[in-house]
């Protein structure tokens, strides 16, 4: 799986960083999401799916390889 | 969805040698001399925007007393609008009717960079939501204590009063909230009524709506002066945001902010979340009562969800699909803001059209939310649109009650949680019915801030245990 971000939409709510802290962080200057691992391990799939689903601005997308 | 770089209007500037100058957008018919379409805007705004799309298509130029406003409609044109950068499409200059309400030096007077920092309200962060849900449930119970076993409420008054308390408690402070009385929601109502589009001619014309607006603002300054005088005696441990702001001093010892200035900050923090949430709460209830089969489903869902004994502060953050569908469908059919505007700072291109700097561009959520190509049977109330498999709110640039893109309402998640907390509390205790004919409930569109038109009454009865 691969994570795609639409940075025009991100507002830095940091919901993703709470759902999957090892995959997402929010940059303290730009207030935009930073994807720490673009292709996270399969074991993180449930966390990443929740992050995508609960993003308040729907800025995240999950793509399958 | 196209990437930002593929979208006209937000693409990188072309080399200086090849300036692009596209077609001029078509001008909508039936504009009056001088006033243009202003009178139609003040009487039937949604019909005006629908006519523009019908006659001219996805791009149409309207005239509000000399202000040229280019309305973009349809998913593709709206995406170009929402992806525009702050440098190109400026929000502040587009809303002249708001400046006399906020006052000088607040929000729309500040630079884009100051606004970015100022609007990053910490209290909207996800980690605060649970505490907010608890506060909102308590405020709703407080309003219910005044209801008794049965009676009748005015939906506008009831939800306006409730949301003044919830917003001030969550966004400003619990201590500060304790100072507020019902007078505040009445003063706020006067301010909201002061947003007549005639402000496009001049926001200080000697008209009753503007005089009332200015009187309401002065009254609010007076009320808040009293609050801060009382609070000045508080021990420092109990100080909240505004107490701190008022205690700041300039190097020469004079106060950094005046009461007038802080009142403006109070209004700006409360304004975005007040009439919007209050109106959505009222419409969610009205539409449920118009469609009893959905009301039964929502109440059934709440009863079974809360059967496990957990409280609202926990449940309101979880998914409540039937209730969320009802809220989203009320938002789609009755969006609280019907026109979103930006001022064009340098030429804006969309397909082969050019909107020159100085004009305004606009998008209408009222039109977008009923685009038949995005929402099948757009006028039909159908909360099932949002269920898994359909998810019509995933059309990010068409389902736009909260706007979209970088300026999407920062309070959207807070608002959804707040509405879930309110109805979780209210609908488990009371049942409601419409007091008037079902089709008599409507919005008053004579001002830029949309409000439920009075009368808008509903009867209630405490549910059998």
B87 touches chain A (CB under 8 A): no
A59 touches chain B (CB under 8 A): no
Residue A28: DSSP 8-state: T
For B1, name the nearest residue in chain A, comparing CA atoms only.
A6
Domain count, chain A: 1
Which residues in A lie closer than 8 A to residue B126 (C-beta atoms)?
A: 13-15, 18
B413 touches chain A (CB under 8 A): yes
Predicted confidence pLDDT, tens digits, chain B (465 residues): 333 333 344 444 444 444 568 999 999 999 999 999 999 999 999 999 999 999 999 999 999 999 999 999 999 999 999 999 888 998 877 888 888 998 876 655 455 455 444 445 566 766 778 889 999 999 999 999 999 999 999 999 999 999 999 999 998 888 889 989 999 999 999 999 999 999 989 999 999 999 999 999 999 999 988 888 888 777 666 777 788 788 888 899 888 888 888 888 888 888 888 999 999 999 999 999 999 999 999 999 999 999 988 888 888 778 899 999 999 999 999 999 999 999 999 999 999 999 999 999 999 999 999 999 999 999 999 999 999 999 999 999 999 999 998 888 888 989 999 999 999 999 999 999 999 999 999 999 999 999 999 999 999 999 988
Cβ(B333)–Cβ(B282) below 8 Å = no
For A19, name the nearest residue in chain B, comparing CA atoms only.
B126
Model confidence, pTM? 0.90
CB atoms closer than 10 angstroms to residue B306: 16
The pLDDT value given to residue B177: 92
Q: Is residue A43 part of a domain?
A: yes
Which residues in A lie closer than 8 A to residue B124 (C-beta atoms)?
A: 13
Would you call A8 and B413 a contact, using CB atoms and an 8 Å cutoff?
no
Q: Is residue A65 part of a domain?
A: no
Whether the pLDDT of residue A47 is over 90: the answer is yes
A56 touches chain B (CB under 8 A): yes
Cβ(B418)–Cβ(B272) below 8 Å = no
Which residues in B lie closer than 8 A to residue A15 (C-beta atoms)?
A: 126, 413
A30 touches chain B (CB under 8 A): no
Query: Which structural domain range is residue A22 located in?
Result: 2-60
Residue B270's alpha-carbon distances to B121, B169, B263, B278, in angstroms, are 12, 11, 11, 12
Listed range (A27-31, A41-45, B300-304, B369-373) with the worst mean pLDDT: A27-31
Say which CATH number the domain at A9 has: 3.30.70.20
CATH topology for the B4-462 domain: Cytochrome p450 (1.10.630)
The pLDDT value given to residue B203: 92
* Domain spans in chain B, listed from the N-terminal domain onward: 4-462
The pLDDT value given to residue A54: 86
Instruction: Select from A4, A7, A8, A20 the residue whose CB has the most chain B CBs within 10 Å, as the one to mutate to test that interface.
Output: A8
The pLDDT value given to residue B83: 93
B120 touches chain A (CB under 8 A): yes
């Amino acid at each position: 799986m691969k994570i795609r971000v639409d940075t025009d939409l991100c507002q830095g709510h940091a919901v993703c960083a709470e759902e999957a802290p090892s995959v997402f962080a929010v940059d303290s200057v730009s207030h935009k999401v930073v994807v720490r691992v673009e292709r996270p391990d399969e074991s993180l799939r449930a966390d990443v799916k929740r992050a995508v689903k609960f993003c308040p601005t729907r800025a995240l997308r999950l793509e399958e390889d | 969805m196209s990437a930002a770089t593929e979208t006209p209007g937000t693409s990188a500037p072309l080399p200086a040698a090849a300036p692009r100058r596209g077609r001029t957008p078509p001008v909508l018919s039936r504009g009056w001399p001088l006033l243009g379409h202003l009178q139609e805007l003040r009487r039937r705004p949604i019909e005006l925007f629908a006519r523009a799309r019908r006659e001219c298509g996805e791009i149409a130029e309207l005239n509000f007393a000399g202000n040229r406003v280019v309305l973009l409609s349809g998913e593709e044109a709206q995406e170009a609008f929402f992806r525009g950068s702050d440098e190109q499409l400026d929000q502040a200059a587009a809303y002249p009717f708001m400046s006399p309400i906020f006052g000088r030096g607040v929000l729309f007077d500040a630079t884009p960079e100051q606004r970015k920092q100022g609007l990053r309200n910490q209290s909207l962060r996800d980690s605060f939501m649970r505490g907010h849900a608890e506060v909102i449930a308590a405020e709703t119970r407080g309003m219910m204590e005044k209801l008794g076993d049965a009676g009748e409420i005015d939906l506008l008054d009831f939800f306006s009063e409730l949301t003044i308390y919830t917003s001030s408690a969550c966004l400003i402070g619990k201590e500060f909230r304790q100072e507020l009385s019902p007078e505040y929601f009445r003063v706020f109502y006067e301010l909201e009524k002061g947003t007549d589009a005639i402000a496009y001619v001049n926001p200080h014309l000697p008209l009753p709506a503007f005089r009332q607006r200015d009187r309401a603002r002065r009254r609010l300054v007076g009320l808040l002066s009293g609050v801060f005088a009382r609070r000045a005696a508080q021990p420092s441990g109990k100080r909240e945001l505004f107490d701190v702001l008022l205690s700041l001093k300039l190097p020469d010892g004079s106060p950094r902010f005046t009461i007038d200035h802080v009142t403006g900050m109070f209004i700006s923090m409360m304004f975005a979340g007040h009439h919007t949430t209050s109106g959505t709460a009222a419409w969610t209830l009205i539409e449920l009562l118009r469609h009893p089969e959905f009301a039964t489903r929502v109440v059934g869902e709440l009863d079974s969800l809360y059967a496990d004994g957990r409280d609202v502060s926990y449940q309101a953050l979880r998914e409540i699909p039937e209730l969320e569908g009802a809220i989203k469908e009320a938002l789609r059919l009755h969006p609280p803001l019907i026109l979103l505007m930006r001022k064009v700072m340098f030429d804006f291109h969309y397909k082969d059209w050019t909107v020159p700097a100085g004009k305004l561009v606009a998008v209408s959520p009222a039109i977008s939310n009923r685009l038949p190509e995005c929402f099948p049977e757009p006028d039909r109330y159908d909360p099932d649109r949002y269920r898994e498999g359909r998810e019509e709110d995933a059309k990010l640039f068409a389902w736009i009650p909260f706007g979209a893109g970088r300026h999407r309402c920062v309070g959207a998640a807070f608002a959804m949680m707040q509405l879930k907390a309110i109805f979780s509390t209210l609908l488990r205790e009371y049942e409601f019915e419409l007091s008037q004919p079902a089709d008599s409930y409507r919005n008053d569109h004579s001002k830029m801030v949309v409000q439920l038109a009075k009368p808008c009454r509903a009867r209630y009865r405490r549910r059998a245990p």
